[in-house]
């Protein structure tokens, strides 16, 4: 649908998916764990976009994905607690056991719970997108 939007307006339209995958490629990332809603992961949209940059996607298992969904719901409902942060950290640790060294937060709510001092490099897709937008404006 991004192409339809781009074709219908006369201004540049950036894609958070494209900007994130391009950023990861520049960082020489070969595979990345994705923390996102189940709906986003099931759509395959990130997987297809990352594949264009030759980046493999590593997803949490179904049980962990269910936990991520509950954590996101708690954040949206402003009911998140330390246990939610602990669950996310455990999921990230499990991704690390799968040799994942990079994770993207592909949900705007997860940034609230992720600490900055993780062994794994964690990328905030909203930050990547915001920086790409500023760079485009300054071109």
The residues, any chain, with a CB within 8 Å of residue 61's CB and separated by 6 or more, are: 94
Q: Where are the domains positioned within the chain?
A: 2-138
CATH class of 2-138: alpha beta
Neighbours of 19 (CB within 10 A): 20
pLDDT at 112 (0 to 100): 86
Give strand ranges (E) for the chain: 31-35, 56-58, 102-105, 121-124
pLDDT at 114 (0 to 100): 81
Judge whether 95 and 120 are in contact, CB under 8 Å: yes
pLDDT at 46 (0 to 100): 92
What pTM does this model have? 0.88
pLDDT at 1 (0 to 100): 75
pLDDT at 94 (0 to 100): 94
pLDDT tens sequence for the chain (139 residues):
788 898 899 888 999 999 999 999 999 999 999 999 999 999 999 999 999 999 999 999 999 999 999 999 999 998 888 899 999 999 999 999 999 999 999 998 898 888 676 788 999 999 999 999 999 999 8
pLDDT at 18 (0 to 100): 96
pLDDT at 139 (0 to 100): 87
pLDDT at 90 (0 to 100): 93
The backbone torsions φ and ψ at residue 41, rounded to the nearest 5 degrees and listed phi first, read -65, -40
As a whole number of Å, the CA-based R_g of the chain is 15
The backbone torsions φ and ψ at residue 56, rounded to the nearest 5 degrees and listed phi first, read -80, 145
């Amino acid at each position: 649908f991004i192409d339809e939007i781009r074709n219908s307006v006369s201004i540049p339209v950036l894609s958070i998916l494209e900007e994130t995958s391009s950023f990861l490629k520049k960082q020489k990332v070969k595979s990345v764990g994705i923390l996102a809603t189940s709906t986003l992961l099931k759509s395959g949209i990130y997987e297809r976009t990352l594949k264009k940059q030759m980046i493999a996607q590593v997803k949490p298992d179904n049980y962990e994905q269910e936990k991520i969904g509950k954590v996101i719901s708690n954040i949206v409902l402003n009911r998140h607690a330390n246990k939610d942060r602990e669950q996310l950290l455990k999921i990230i640790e499990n991704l690390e056991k799968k040799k994942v060294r990079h994770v993207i937060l592909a949900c705007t709510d997860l940034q609230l719970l992720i600490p900055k001092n993780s062994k794994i490099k964690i990328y905030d897709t909203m930050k990547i997108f915001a920086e790409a937008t500023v760079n485009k404006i300054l071109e």
